[in-house]
Amino acid sequence: MSGKALALAALLVAASCGGPALAASDYPTKPVRIIIGFGPGSTADVLARIVGQRLGKTLGQQIIVENRAGAGSMIAAELVSRAPADGYTLFMATVANTINPALAAASTFNLGKDLAPVALVGVIPNVLVAHPSVKAGTVAELVALAKAQPESLLFASAGSGTAGHLSAELFNERVGVKITHIFYSGSAQAASDLLTGRINLMFTVASTMLPQINERKLNALAVAQSKRSGVLPDVPTMAEAGMPGFDASIWIGLLAPPGTPADIVEQIARGVNEALTNEEVLAPMRVQGFDPLGGSPQDFARFIAADIKKWEAVTTAAGLKK
């Protein structure tokens, strides 16, 4: 074989062995889509647009946010799970994606296995609020009241299987009470009835009730996450209120199709983490009530596994399997 032929053969072998790595090192060469499972203006949509703008600058490509609402975000999740594993189609997941499979008796979708975790992005805390007519200024006083008068209190939520509903079920399970749950067809009517006192309690996104909390129209008893919220710094966590490990926050994180090259996943994760240190991102996040998270793909994978296990236990204990 001639010298030219040997050189060409060596080049072909190198290309065949190093193709995926070379492709990953060139990433990205075109715009990147982030698919959202909810409509425009939803928490995931807002956060994707805030972080996506900075992530696009870091990656050197436009980030396109695309809304594919339906089935509690599962339509979008399954769409991305079947997308090419090249890093150009990503999914912004929320707590709904670990709650929904826990509600289904025969769910075959597993967020952490059917998609590749990239990074947790942010959290918007659920806060336990009570109408001022409820004679309880703390979680401990609420628990005592619920045990003494189990039929006197009503929880509200935006619907069956929502984060607010499951948060209330987790509360009932942890304290050994059964506060009656009232389902609404959306959060607006539930919030209205809470403000008039027709309903006593609700786990709700902190930012949506911030004016009412600040005006003392509602009492914020605790935030349902592991650390205090930036928008409610004076409100204790559920752990501080006597329930260690209680976390029912609205987390949001980025995932890629399964099989996406590890170096592409790591590159996107680095971009997300860089964005979460940038004041151009942090300032609008604070305005919207988000706290930044971040971390590695491995951190996010462990988080998803624990969250699935938690909601599986809650739905089983509450008899909510469909």
Does this chain's domain 20-123+251-318 share its CATH topology with 126-223?
Answer: yes
Domain boundaries, the chain: 20-123+251-318, 126-223
Please state, as a whole number, how many other Cβ atoms lie within 10 Å of the Cβ of residue 222.
27
Q: Give the residue among 72, 75, 77, 167 at the shortest CA–CA distance from 129.
A: 167
Measured at the alpha carbon of residue 223, what is the angle toward residues 217 and 228, in degrees to the nearest 5? Answer: 115
Q: Is the CB of residue 275 less than 8 Å from the CB of residue 118?
A: no
| Cα(239)–Cα(260) distance, integer angstroms | 37
Under 8 Å between Cβ of 66 and 78: no
DSSP-derived secondary structure for 258-304: TT--HHHHHHHHHHHHHHTT-HHHHHHHHHHT-EE----HHHHHHHH
> Rounded to two decimals, what is the model's pTM?
0.86
Which residue in this structure is represented by tokens 């597993």?
110
Strand 32-36, strand 89-94: pairing? parallel
Sign of CA dihedral 101, 267, 303, 113: positive
3.40.50.720, 3.90.230.10, 3.30.70.100, 3.40.190.10: CATH of 126-223: 3.40.190.10
Report which of 166, 182, 171, 170 is spatially closest to residue 147, judged by C-alpha positions. 171
Q: How far apart are CA 136 and CA 254, in angstroms?
A: 39
Query: Rounded to whole angstroms, what are the CA distances from 41 to 33, 36, 235, 291?
Result: 17, 11, 26, 17
98 by DSSP, 3-state: which? helix
Which listed CATH number (3.40.190.150, 3.40.50.300, 1.20.120.1200, 3.30.450.40) goes with 20-123+251-318? 3.40.190.150
Under 8 Å between Cβ of 247 and 226: yes
The pLDDT assigned to 14 comes to 40
Q: Helices 43-59 and 262-275 sit at what angle, rounded to 10 degrees?
A: 110
| CB neighbourhood size of 107 (10 A) | 14
Can you give the pLDDT of all 322 residues of the chain as single tens digits? 444 443 434 333 343 444 444 345 699 999 999 999 999 999 999 999 999 999 999 999 999 999 999 988 999 999 999 999 999 999 999 999 999 888 876 677 889 899 999 999 999 989 999 999 999 999 999 999 999 987 889 999 998 888 999 999 999 999 888 899 999 988 889 999 999 999 999 999 888 888 999 999 999 999 998 889 888 999 999 999 999 989 999 999 999 999 999 999 999 999 999 999 999 999 999 989 899 999 999 999 999 999 999 999 999 988 887 6
